[in-house]
Structures are given as structure tokens and as C-alpha cells.
A = this chain, B = another copy of it.
């Protein structure tokens, strides 16, 4: 409710007709006010005009668990599709402490200074649990928050990575339709969220610190393999020497991997987000990558493959949740697990039984 009233209030200031405003003023009870929520069509055209309030509102619908909201969200997305897909999507990951927020602030400010419109989103499936998660505290990006050319939206909350990923992926489309040409998607350097983000971006940037000793971790979990570039942050002052050494080592590690389908050799860069050094180099590197992959057709091909991946992924997740959430299955599953524990059935016979129900 509060959210809605706030939106309505704000709405009056951007792009709503006079007669609508008059209507709002003449209404005294909440029920009637509700009816005045902009129609789906109005929301679509407001988003396409770059109206941030309408964008926020549509994202709220995408994030809702209410079926009606979701239907409305789908219609809005459908209406935004023609204007979508015209952006560069950049995934940024790194373990806590690597300086992600500071980097994104510096990077985002640089992008807007060269005329870009930047949306910063996040994928953090833990956000509903830990509350204070990445991007949750916008104050860590003081300048970017105040920047008119930037839009920051914290991670949607959700019980599953799949749910959070879906919401973020749809939010990308809405942001693009609203005119944001550079989408940054932040994720934490833990769990499977990197893989999810990797499969929704054009360029994947891994933030590292010199001498953090987590190289093996990155190799093991396949994150280094996904990176199109590694930026070694905090490469300043006494840390600079170690950062230069780390650059050599990461370059060597990157060369151990077979060539990527993009035919792009991942690069290692040094930067200091705090001192705003090396930030423009990273944007140049990304621009080179985009030019390279647009020229060889990989950019377009990759986006299509990502869409197909998400189509199949979404269906699989839904099939599973529809099946396992049936009360009868829940109950019988427990019984079958018990029988397996007691050695009275096999997983395959039990599976067959549950599927027959």
C-alpha cells in the first residue's frame, strides 16, 4: 500500500495527464484510489518514455508472487520487448571484501560521464535471509544513487536462485525498454549465482584481490573459466607490486584454458576503484570485446542461446516444483525415503511409485 501511494504521488510529477491528476485529487477513499493505478498499457508507454517510477512499479510487479501481478508483468514485458535487447549486459562478481560496491560506483559514474545510461541490478539468492545483502544498502553507492542517468535496484528476494534469476532477467528487459543502455548485474562470489548471472550477460567480469589465495577456489568452481576479464582491484600504494605479480599469474592461468566460443582471449586488468584508477581501461576493454563479438556474430548467437537456456531451465524448475509441492507427493516421498533408509526399496522403484501416483 505504502509503495503504491508513494508511486501514485510520484506519478503525478512525471508524464500523467491533467485530467488524471484532477481525478486523484478528487478521490477520498482507498478503494477508488486503487482503481486509479495506471493501466498496463499506460505503464508500458511510460516505461518506453523512460519514466523511472513506472519502471520501478513494473519491476515490483515482476517480483510479486501474486498471480494477477505476474500476468500483468508478462503483458508489460511483452509490450516492452521491441525496445529491449539494445544494451550491453555486464556481470560483475567477486568475493565479499573485494570492493564490489566501490568498483560499481566508480565504474557506473565513469559510464554516465561518457553518456551511458546505467542500470545496476543484483542476483543474490541469500538476500531474503541475510537482509543486509549486496545492493541492499544503497548508501554504499552514494554518488551513483544521486546520478540521474543511473538506476539501482537491489536483488529481488526469493526462496530459490531460479526465482531470483527469472525476476532479474525480466527486470533487464524492462530497464532496457526504459532506455538504459548499460546493464550491470552484480552477484556475490559464492554459490551457483555466478553461473546464473553468466548466462544472462554479454560480458563477465571477475573482481580479484592480489594475494588473496583463492585462485584454486576460482578455478575449482569454474568462475575463472567464465570470466571475460579479471580486474585486480585495490591495485594501489603498497599493494601495487603484489597486484602486478597477480596479473602475471592470472594471465598464465587464463592461458591454460581452451579458446572460448567467443574467440576472445580473457584479459587481466589492474584498477583501484577507491582512487578511480584503471576504471576507464576496463570500460575500453569491454567495448573492444563487444565490438569483437558483434563482428564475429557471437554476441547475437550467445544472447539467443541464453534465451533458450532460460526457457528450458524455467520449464524444468516448474515441472519439479509442481510435482514436489503436491501434498500427496510430499507425504509419500517421506514414506519412500524411509523405506530406502530401511533398505526395503530402491531409489528407482520408489521413484516409479511416486511418479505413478
Tell me the A residues contacting B by CB distance below 8 Å. 74, 77-78, 81-82, 84-85, 166, 169-170, 173, 216, 219-220, 222, 225, 256, 304, 307-311, 313-316, 318-320, 323, 336-337, 340-341, 343-352, 354-355
Contacts and interface: CB of A to CB of B under 8 A. Distances in A.
Given A74-B352, A307-B340, A319-B355, 9 more contacts: A78-B349, A84-B343, A85-B343, A219-B219, A307-B346, A310-B347, A311-B340, A315-B354, A319-B319
Contacts of A314: 347-348, 351
| Chain B CB within 10 Å, residue with most, of A173, A320, A349, A354 | A349
10 contacts: A77-B348, A170-B348, A219-B220, A308-B340, A309-B347, A311-B340, A314-B348, A316-B320, A318-B351, A319-B319
A323 B256 CA distance: 40
A346 B304 contact: no
Q: How many copies does the complex hold?
A: 2
A307 B345 CA distance: 10
B308 A347 contact: yes
Contacts of A343: 81-82, 84-85
Nearest to A346: B77
A310 B348 contact: yes
Contacts of A315: 323, 351, 354-355
A77 B349 contact: yes
Contact of A318 (B166, B313, B345, B355): B355
Given A311-B336, A348-B169, A216 B219 contact: yes
The 4 lowest CB-CB distance pairs between A and B, nearest first, are A310-B347, A314-B351, A311-B347, A319-B319
A311 B220 contact: no
A319 B304 CA distance: 25
Contacts of A320: 316, 319
B74 A349 contact: yes
B311 A319 contact: no
A77 to B, nearest CB: 6
Contacts of A344: 81
A318 B310 CA distance: 20
A6 B5 CA distance: 81
Nearest to A304: B341
Contact of A78 (B173, B219, B345): B345
Contact of A311 (B169, B222, B256, B351): B351
A347 B311 CA distance: 4
| Chain B CB within 10 Å, residue with most, of A310, A315, A349, A352 | A315
B220 A173 contact: no
Contacts of A219: 216, 219-220
B74 A311 contact: no
Contact of A348 (B166, B309, B323, B352): B166
A307 B350 CA distance: 10
A217 to B, nearest CB: 9
